[in-house]
């Protein structure tokens, strides 16, 4: 496993490989990240993982400074996966002095997470575009847990004609359904016990859709009621939107993204399920 800390080192190392699968991460790796790395290697023959806590996707007052970091642990986990390349850049390598260009993904960036976290997706789109240009991977792998991010990245890759296939991996979950996230480390024992309410609310909506419910407002109200019944949960939003445009739906007459954002104390968690009403 080769560790690259500068763009020049990454480009020189990447030149040794043909097909390359790439999993961008912010580190503090869990099984969701490792699943991306594993699939990248299996499908492309060689794998690259980046670890970079991107400051431009954090809004003012968010957890940039306390975001969990453990480089030694992360590198040990990636070595076990036989990862070929790891990119560990410094902030100044990604955003050198005088940096001023950004990527605006358009309307997808201004709803849901974009509305709650202004500027977030400009930061995401910019850093991912830069990383893809630096690494020139054959395929890049992202987790469905960040569904809106996946849509934004696919849009950027398409609109900017980036020569990479974007691959979305199903959400990795703990045994009780909680979506794996580096931020789960922030949760107290009581908050961790309460947090699976996100997935239970999404599952309940999915079950109602299978039973034939198509009224989006009733389904949103169901999610909201289930989450608000948990005393430790502070609801940010519930959404039932078109799975491609993220426009809120009045009726489920097409594939839909059911998504939620909830705070437990100082920790904000998100989750989602894609609903297929035509198959129900």
CB 178 within 8 A of CB 184: yes
Specify whether 33 is catalytic: yes
pTM of the model: 0.95
Alpha helices in 160-255, H assignment, sequence order: 189-194, 197-211, 216-228
How far is residue 157 from each of residues 17, 25, 108, 119, 222, measured CA to CA in Å?
Answer: 22, 18, 14, 19, 35
Query: Is residue 152 domain-resident?
Result: yes
Q: Which of 169, 199, 231 is the last residue of a domain?
A: 169
- Average pLDDT for 47-59: 96
With vertex at residue 95, the alpha carbon angle to CA 267 and CA 71, rounded to the nearest 5 degrees, is 50
Which tokens in the block code for residue 208? 């109602």
Q: Judge if 109 and 226 occupy the same domain.
A: no
Same domain, yes or no, for 196 and 84? no
pLDDT at site 280? 54
Three-state SS at 237? strand
Domain stops at, among 127, 146, 169: 169
Residue 139 lies in a domain: yes
Pick the catalytic residue from 30, 33, 90, 110.
Answer: 33
Within this chain, do residues 193 and 134 fall inside the same structural domain, yes or no?
Answer: no
The verdict on 74 and 156 lying in the same domain is yes
What mean pLDDT comes out for the span 69-85? 98
Dmax (CA) for the chain in angstroms is 57
pLDDT band at 146 (very low <50, low <70, confident <90, very high): very high
Structural domain range at position 6:
2-169
Domain check: are 154 and 251 in the same one? no
Residue 187 belongs to some domain of the structure: yes
From 169, 192, 215, the end of a domain falls on 169
Residues 104 and 229 in one domain: no
The domain that contains 202 carries what CATH number?
Answer: 3.30.1300.10
- Scanning the structure block, which residue is given the tokens 């996946």? 150
Residues 181-207, mean pLDDT to the nearest whole number: 98
- How many independent structural domains does the chain possess? 2
Question: Same structural domain for residues 101 and 35?
Answer: yes
**Which CATH number belongs to the domain containing residue 152 in this structure?**
3.40.50.620
Same domain for 49 and 160, yes or no, is yes
The pLDDT value recorded for residue 261 is 98
Residues 12 and 107 in one domain: yes
- Same domain for 155 and 248? no
pLDDT at 60: 85
């Amino acid at each position: 496993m080769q560790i690259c800390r500068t763009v020049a080192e990454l480009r020189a190392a990447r030149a040794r490989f043909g097909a390359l699968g790439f999993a961008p991460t912010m580190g503090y790796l869990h099984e969701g990240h490792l699943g991306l790395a594993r699939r990248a290697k299996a499908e492309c023959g060689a794998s690259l993982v980046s670890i970079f806590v991107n400051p431009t996707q954090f809004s003012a007052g968010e957890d940039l400074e306390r975001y969990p970091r453990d480089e030694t642990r992360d590198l040990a986990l990636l070595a076990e996966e036989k990862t070929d390349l790891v990119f560990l850049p410094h902030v100044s390598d990604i955003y050198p002095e005088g940096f001023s260009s950004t990527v605006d993904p358009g309307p997808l960036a201004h709803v849901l997470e974009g509305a709650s976290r202004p500027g977030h997706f400009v930061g995401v789109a910019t850093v991912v575009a830069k990383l893809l240009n630096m690494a020139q991977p054959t395929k890049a792998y992202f987790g469905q847990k960040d569904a809106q991010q996946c849509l934004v990245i696919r849009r950027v890759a398409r609109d900017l004609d980036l020569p990479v296939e974007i691959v979305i991996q199903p959400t990795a979950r703990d045994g009780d359904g909680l979506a794996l996230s580096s931020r789960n480390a922030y949760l107290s024992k009581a908050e961790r016990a309460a947090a699976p309410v996100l997935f239970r609310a999404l599952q309940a909506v999915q079950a109602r859709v299978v039973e034939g419910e198509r009224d989006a407002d009733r389904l949103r109200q169901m999610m909201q009621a289930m989450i608000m019944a948990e005393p430790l949960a502070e609801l940010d939003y519930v959404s039932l939107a078109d799975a491609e445009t993220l426009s809120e739906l009045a009726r489920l007459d097409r594939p839909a993204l059911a998504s939620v954002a909830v705070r437990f104390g100082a920790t904000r968690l998100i989750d989602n399920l894609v609903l297929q009403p035509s198959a129900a």
